[in-house]
Amino acid sequence: MTGRDASIEIIQRELTAFARRARHKASQLHPDLSLVTYSMLDLMYERGGCRAADLASYFMLDKSTVSRQVGSLEKLGLLRRETDPEDHRGQILRPTEAGLALLRDAYQQRRQSFTERFTEWSDEDVARLAAYLVRYGQAD
């Protein structure tokens, strides 16, 4: 295996481990909340609300999966539906106050976890990782 191939293997392994830790952390936030549902709620907040079709497109999921996840969030009292002012047939999904509180708590927990993980890293290393992650995310 070449150096590049070995590096790609390491990246794949580490990102998979990162995703597993993220799923575990999501389950600790709320026992009925998966990483997918948490991520959807987070995107709704980030965008100031969005449609179910936006969630399906962003997360590359089919509409029935999104519908189940949205229903779960609604049942838990973490999101509300509002009539789309641009298309009265559509709905905008937004976090409720309980959803916002959960997102605030999650943000604080994530921030603390990352801060602890990077304690031994230099500012330059942290900045480099941030730039690489942005670059990786823009590759799609």
Confidence of residue 140 (pLDDT cuts 50, 70, 90): low
In this predicted structure, the answer to whether residue 138 has a pLDDT above a threshold of 70 is yes
Tell me which residue has tokens 């905008």: 92
58's CB contacts (< 8 A; 6+ apart) are 43
User: CATH number of the domain at 3-102, out of 3.50.50.60, 3.40.50.1440, 1.10.472.50, 1.10.10.10?
Assistant: 1.10.10.10
Q: Model's pTM, two decimal places?
A: 0.79
- CA 60 to CA 48: how far, in whole Å? 20
Q: What is the pLDDT of residue 50?
A: 94
In the chain, domain spans = 3-102
In this predicted structure, the answer to whether residue 130 has a pLDDT above a threshold of 90 is yes
CA angle 4, 6, 7 (to 5 degrees): 65
Alpha-helical (H) ranges within the chain are: 3-29, 35-47, 52-59, 63-75, 97-117, 123-137
Confidence of residue 46 (pLDDT cuts 50, 70, 90): very high
Higher-scoring residue by pLDDT: 86, 99: 99
In this predicted structure, the answer to whether residue 33 has a pLDDT above a threshold of 90 is no
